[in-house]
A = this chain, B = another copy of it.
Amino acid sequence: VVVAIPIFDGLTALDAIGPYEVLARLPDAEVRFCAAEPGPKRTEDGFLSLTADHALADVKAPDVVVVPGGRGARVGDHAELLDWLRASHETSDWTTSVCTGALLLGAAGLLQGKRATTHWMFLEQLREHGAEPVSERVVEEGKIITAAGVSAGIDMALTLAGRIAGDEVGQAIQLAIEYDPEPPYDAGSVTKASREVVEAARSRA
């Protein structure tokens, strides 16, 4: 299974790393971090760079595509990436996004007429790309799977691991990364957080 994860300056690291950490554990997995220009890519807060080892042009017909989000997904020139997404989607088994990575799938024209999700703050922007925003953690539409904000990529990737390699492998990967969540709060979605917390999250963003 070749998994391609395109990255860019201004990405949110966990959007990419959550699915990577799951999908890299699939049998015979090969994960390729790629970019229009290979090399180090800075996260949106500037604290870290992840390296794209591969040029987009060298990653042809991956089985799985995972598009992360972050401020960098919403600004700048992504023309080469969008072309690559359209071409890759023609032959992929699965085309997926995490967080505002969905806006890149949308900009590539892949979400037209489809249900999709993204980070809760950007849900309505999916309409600009002809998609129907859905407030769910993981949304499957045929071979396109979109995940909600940042950490939702872990759930999306476990779902995908099960589809690709069966439930026992999916469960073994969940156990390998000891994903038995116990958040100290129950404020992880807009429907659960208090109004004050939603406002605090908005004003900090």
Contacts and interface: CB of A to CB of B under 8 A. Distances in A.
Q: Which of A159, A176, A189 has the most CB of B within 10 A?
A: A176
Interface stretch (A83-91, A125-133, A163-171): A163-171
Chain A interface size, under 10 / 10 to 19 / 20 to 34 / 35 or more? 35 or more
Contacts of A196: 168
The A interface, classified by DSSP as helix, strand, loop or mixed, is mixed
Contact of A150 (B170, B177, B198): B177
A180 B172 contact: no
A30 interface: yes
Contacts of A50: 48-51
A185 B171 CA distance: 6
A24 B51 contact: no
Given A174-B183, A183-B158, A20 B49 contact: no
A69 to B, nearest CB: 11
Contacts of A183: 154-155, 158, 174, 179, 181
A187 interface: yes
B175 A189 contact: yes
B184 A170 contact: yes
